[in-house]
Amino acid sequence: MKFFKIILVFLIIAAFAISLWNKIHLQKYKRMYEIQKKEKARIEDVGKKIEEAVIKAQMASMKHIGKKLIWGNIEKIYPKEDSKQENHINPKLVLIFSELGCNVCQDNETAFAVDIANVFGENFVLAVINASNKRYARNYIRMNQINFPVYFCKDDLFLNGNNIKNTPMIFVIDEEDRVIASTFPIPGHPIYSKPIHEFCFYYFK
């Protein structure tokens, strides 16, 4: 009789332990499910925001297509500071940067521009740096080992003259300085600049 009591107590304890174990793990799985659910919602939200940013950025950049760039209020600082403005400026790829713009975007687009200059020639590319002083522009040239002409712009005059509201901005222009393609790089998502990169290699051939 004593033996059966011991077995009964053991079974009760075992059943309680199993029930407690199941409860703990059920709560664990519920927490994991909630975490996964929240993470999925976060990713979807981030994806939606990226999509909205891409659409907004591209719509903003497309307003420049067909318009002629005005080469005023800029000063050449590389390769040499010879004049405030050359008589004829006609690159194919134009980078518009600012010291207040996205640094990562500028680094990505600069690397692409250096490749373009290496393949097609330095006169195919031009960068306009909008900054409070030339030191920023010179640091940009030195740190990125620039191999194409760079112009300095102060007081937003060049930007305002061309109705450029955001930087960085990338333009592809024709022989008459009219914009035929443009893009506004998305911070942290260089993949969205790939279409205009591919277009450049195709168009410049």
Please tell me the predicted confidence (pLDDT) of residue 50.
63
Query: Given a cut of 70, is residue 121 above it in pLDDT?
Result: yes
* Ranges 19-28, 107-116, 191-200: which has the least confidence: 19-28
DSSP string, the chain: -HHHHHHHHHHHHHHHHHHHHHHHHHHHHHHHHHHHHHHHHHHHHHHHHHHHHHHHHHHHHHTTTTPBP---S-EEEES----SS-S----SEEEEEETTS-HHHHHHHHHHHHHHHHHH-GGGEEEEEE-SSHHHHHHHHHHHT--S-EEEE-TTHHHHHTT--SSSEEEEE-TTSBEEEEE-PPTT-GGGGHHHHHHHHHHT-
| Local confidence band at 114 (pLDDT 50, 70, 90 cut-offs) | very high
| Local confidence band at 149 (pLDDT 50, 70, 90 cut-offs) | very high
Please tell me the predicted confidence (pLDDT) of residue 119.
92
Q: Which residues contact 101 (CB under 8 A, 6 or more apart)?
A: 166, 167, 168
Please tell me the predicted confidence (pLDDT) of residue 148.
93
Q: Quickly tell me which residue has 């290496």 as its tokens.
A: 118
DSSP string, 190-202: GGGGHHHHHHHHH
Query: Given a cut of 50, is residue 57 above it in pLDDT?
Result: yes
* Ranges 32-41, 77-86, 119-128, 175-184: which has the least confidence: 32-41
* Structure-derived torsion over alpha carbons of residues 55, 91, 156, 114, reported in degrees to the nearest 10: 70
Residue 163: which of 74, 81, 68 has the closest Cα?
68
φ/ψ region of 7 (left if φ > 0, alpha if ψ in -120 to 50, else beta) reads: alpha
Claim: this prediction has a pTM higher than 0.75: no
Q: What long-range pairs does 15-24 form, CB within 8 A, spacing at least 24?
A: none
- Cβ atoms of residues 29 and 145 within 8 Å: no
Round to whole Å and give the CA distance between 138 and 152: 9
Pairing of strands 150-153, 169-173: unpaired
Please tell me the predicted confidence (pLDDT) of residue 84.
47
pLDDT, tens digit, for every residue of 10-52?
556 656 556 656 666 666 656 655 665 565 566 556 556 666 7
